[in-house]
């Protein structure tokens, strides 16, 4: 059905009745009244915000502050756990971890030659 809404005017007349459709023709406003009221309603329709904000800037800021606080707590917890693991490791474990890291880096470099991604031709299809 149709819904009747009031469109405020800034001129000498503040009367104006509009019928807003729901469904396929939603968003179209049919104004009854004088030509001046119709013109004002059309201007308002052009300059309306099609995507109204769902929250204020203050609300968004509060959400971001809360998210950052949670992230800071999670990072501190992870860092503390990493320090505990590091303290429990023996010197041999640390050397083994460094050796595995270096080995995996060497394997990656073997599979991805320097400049292979920047060449115009496809390096991996050669030969």
- Residue 19, phi then psi, degrees to nearest 5: -110, 120
Report DSSP state, residue 125: G
Residue 42 pLDDT: 83
Short-list 70, 22, 85, 100, CA closest to 4? 22
Backbone φ and ψ of 18, nearest 5°: -125, 150
pLDDT digit string (tens) for the chain, length 127 residues: 455 555 555 544 444 444 444 455 555 556 667 888 888 888 887 877 778 888 899 999 999 999 999 999 999 999 999 999 989 989 999 999 999 999 999 999 888 877 766 665 665 565 5
Residues pairing with 30 in the sheet: 19
DSSP 8-class letter at 32: E
- Give the pair of three-digit tokens for residue 77: 């917890």
**Residue (of 36, 29, 32, 2) closest to 16 by Cα position:** 32
C-alpha span between 45 and 78 (Å, rounded) = 53
What strands, in cross-sheet order, belong to the sheet with 17-20? 3-6, 17-20, 29-32
């Amino acid at each position: 059905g149709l819904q009747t809404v009031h469109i405020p005017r800034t001129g000498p007349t503040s009367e104006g009745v509009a019928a807003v459709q729901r469904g396929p023709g939603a968003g179209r406003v049919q104004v009854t009244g004088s030509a001046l009221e119709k013109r004002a309603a059309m201007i308002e329709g052009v300059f309306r915000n099609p995507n109204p904000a769902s929250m204020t800037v203050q609300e968004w800021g509060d959400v971001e502050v809360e998210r950052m606080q949670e992230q800071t707590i999670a990072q501190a917890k992870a860092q503390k756990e990493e320090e505990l693991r590091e303290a429990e490791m023996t010197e041999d474990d640390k050397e083994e971890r460094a050796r595995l890291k270096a080995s995996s880096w060497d394997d990656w470099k073997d599979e991805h030659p320097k400049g292979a991604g920047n060449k115009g031709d496809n390096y991996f299809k050669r030969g």
